[in-house]
A and B are shown apart, each in its own frame.
Chain A
Amino acid sequence: MSLGGFEVDIERQVNGGLVTEDMTLSMGPQHPSTHGVLRFVVRADGEIMKEAIPDIGYLHRSIEKIAEKVGWHGFMPYTDRVDYVAAMPCNQGWAMAAEKVGGIEVPKRGEYCRVLAVEFNRIQSHLLSVGSMAMDIGASTPFTHAIREREYINDLLEELCGARLTFNYMRIGGVAWDLPPGWKEKALAYVERFEPLIDEYNALISYNKIYTERLANVAVVTPADAVDYNLVGPNLRGSGIKFDVRRHEPYSVYPELDFEIPVGRGEVGTLGDCFDRYIVRMVEMKECCRIIRQCLKQIPAGPVIAKVPRNYKPPAGDAYVRIESARGDMGWYVVSDGTSFPYRCKIRTGSFSAISIIQKLSRNLMIADLIAVIASLDLVAPEIDR
C-alpha cells in the first residue's frame, strides 16, 4: 500500500483488524498540567490509555526527617512547605498535634484567628484549583479571574502575618499575632465583594457546555473506591459521601459555627465524576464565606496564644490529629520521647491518597482526560512527596 509516496507495510490480523502496538510515553516531570513536578508513565493505544503509572519523589525534601532535627517550635515554618497552596491548615495540623501530645489548651481568640486564617486560605486554594482546572481544560480566562481574587486574599493574609504564601502564622499554643487594627472590616468587605463573584464564575465557566462535556462522566470514582483509597475532602465528597472532619470529628471552634457540607450529586453526568469534584469546591467557597462572617461576628476578646515554654518538651507518648485542609482530611501522627525534638512526625496528606487512585482511574481514558483527572483531584505535588 502506498501512502503519499511512502511504502507502508500493514499486517492484518485474522479478524481483519489492524495490528497495533502499545506506546509507552513519559509525561512530565516538568509538564504544565501536573501541578508541580511529577511524572506519569503512560501506556497508550493511540489516544486511549491502558494505564498511567504515577512516578513521584521529585519534590521529596524529607520534611518528616527534618522534624526530628529542628525541634517542636522550629518545625512550624517547614510545615508551610508541605502544602504551599494551603499552608495555614498545615500550620494548624502541626500545632494541634504538638498541643495534643503536650496537653496544651489554646485560648478562644487564638482558635478564632486560626479558623479565620484557614478558611481564607481554603478559598485561596480552591480558587487556584478551579482556575487552573479551567486552564488545563483549555479556557484561560477563568484562571485570570480566579487569580485576581486570590491576590486580595494574599493581601489580607499578608497583613495578618507578613507573608503571602508560606505563612508561619501559627505557634504551638495559638497564633503569632493578633488581628491587626481594621483587619476585620477589610476581611468583611472582601467577603461581601467575593460572594457574588462565585455566581459570576459559575456563569462564566461552571455550566458552560464545552466545559461540562469535558468533565461529565470522566473518571468516575465510586463511593466504595473513594473510601478504599482513602480519598479525602472534596474528592471524597464529590463521590457523594457527606463527611467533613470539621463537622464529624470536630476540632477547634468549628462546633460553634454553622455551615453546610456540599456533596456531589451527579448533576451533569455520573456521581463521582470530574465535574462533581469540581463543583464541590465551588460550593465550598460559599460555605467558607459563611464561616468567615460568623467568625468575624463571634470572635471574643482575649489572648491569642497560651503560655508555652520556649524549650517545649511534651511528655512521652503519641497522638494522631486530623484536620480538614483545603485538600481534605490531613493526618498528623507525632511521637514524642519527652525531649525538645519530636521523635517522629508522619504527615498523611490528601494529595497522597488522591494520586494513588490515578493508576486505576486512568484505564481506558483518553490521554487528554488525564489532565482533567489530575486537575479535578486537585493534586499539589509537594504535598505528595513531603
Chain B
Amino acid sequence: MLTLDPAAIHAQLRSRFGDAVGELVGQGGDASATVPPDRILEIATFCKTDPGLAFDCLSNLSGVDYPKRSAIQIVYHLYSYPNRHRFVLKVDAARDNPVVQSIAGVWAHAEWQEREVFDLLGVDFPGHPDLRRLLMPEDWPGHPLRKDFVEPEEYHGISTSRESLLKA
C-alpha cells in the first residue's frame, strides 16, 4: 500500500500527459485537475491501470451547469481501495453542445452515472453502450438540472402547478 498525496498524483499525470492535465487546484481529498473532454478516456484508463495510482473505484460522477462561463462541468471522484488515496478530475464541456468521452468501459459504475448526467444535464457521452434517459420520462422536454430549465406547465394534459389554496 502506497498512499500518494494529491501533488504526487498530479505530478504523475503531468509527466504522462503533459499540459493536457491542468493545474492542481484545492487541497486534500478535494484537490482536482481539469482535463480536456476528448482526453478523459485515456487519462481515466491510465488512472485505473497504472500500478502506482491504481484508482480501481469511481466513487462519484457529477455534472454541474455553469451558464456564466457557458460550460457544463463533469466531476470525477476517483478512489483507490488498495492505496487508499483519492483524486478529482474535472472536465469542462461546451454548454451549447456538451460532448465528453464515455468512461463506461473503464469503470462499470460510470455507465449509470453518465446516463443520469445525460438525462438531467443533456451531456452526450460518445462510446457509451446504452445512453438513454434514466430518471425522467423518455419524452420529457429539456434537462432539469440545467440552471435555465423552465418547468413545463403540463405533461400529457396533467398540470404541473395549481392555484394556491390560501387566499390572501
Contacts and interface: CB of A to CB of B under 8 A. Distances in A.
Interface string B106-145: 0111011100000000000000000001111100000011
13 contacts: A57-B133, A60-B136, A65-B144, A65-B145, A228-B108, A228-B109, A317-B26, A320-B30, A331-B59, A346-B64, A348-B113, A356-B109, A385-B135
A51 to B, nearest CB: 12
Contact of A57 (B26, B111, B134): B134
Interface in B4-60: 26, 29-30, 56-60
B77 A227 contact: no
Contacts of B107: 228, 230
A297 interface: no
A248 B84 contact: yes
Given A65-B144, A320-B60, A360-B108, 13 more contacts: A62-B144, A64-B145, A227-B56, A227-B57, A228-B107, A228-B109, A230-B59, A230-B107, A249-B84, A320-B77, A331-B59, A348-B60, A356-B111
B134 A348 contact: no
B81 A243 contact: yes
Contacts of A62: 144
A56 interface: yes
A318 interface: yes
Which of the four size classes fits the interface of chain A? Answer: 20 to 34
How would you classify the secondary structure of chain B's contact residues: helix, strand, loop or mixed? mixed
A230 B77 CA distance: 12
**Closest 5 CB pairs between A and B?**
A230-B109, A346-B62, A57-B135, A356-B112, A60-B135
Interface in A62-88: 62, 64-65
B88 interface: yes
Nearest to B145: A65
Interface in B129-165: 133-137, 144-145
**Interface size grouping (class) on chain B:** 20 to 34
A50 interface: no
Interface in A292-340: 317-320, 322, 329, 331, 333, 335
B59 A56 contact: no
A343 B147 CA distance: 10
B94 interface: no
B158 to A, nearest CB: 15
B109 A333 contact: no
B71 interface: no
Most chain-B Cβ atoms within 10 A of its Cβ — which of A64, A225, A227, A360?
Answer: A227
Contact of B77 (A60, A65, A241, A333): A333
B99 interface: no
Contact of A346 (B60, B134, B135, B144): B60
Nearest to B48: A228
Contacts of B61: 348
A352 interface: yes
B64 to A, nearest CB: 5
Contacts of B111: 356
A207 interface: no
B83 to A, nearest CB: 11
A126 B40 CA distance: 39
A249 B137 CA distance: 37
Contact of A56 (B56, B57, B63, B134): B134
Interface in B59-82: 59-65, 75, 77, 81
A57 B137 contact: yes
A45 to B, nearest CB: 22
Contacts of B26: 317-318
A182 to B, nearest CB: 40
Given A319-B30, A333-B77, A230 B137 contact: no
B135 A229 contact: no
A353 interface: yes
Nearest to B137: A57
A344 interface: yes
A229 B30 contact: no
Interface string A77-103: 000000000000000000000000000
B109 A331 contact: no
B64 A344 contact: yes
Given A228-B108, A243-B81, A320-B29, A329 B64 contact: no
A230 B29 contact: no
A56 B30 contact: no
Contacts of A346: 60, 62-64
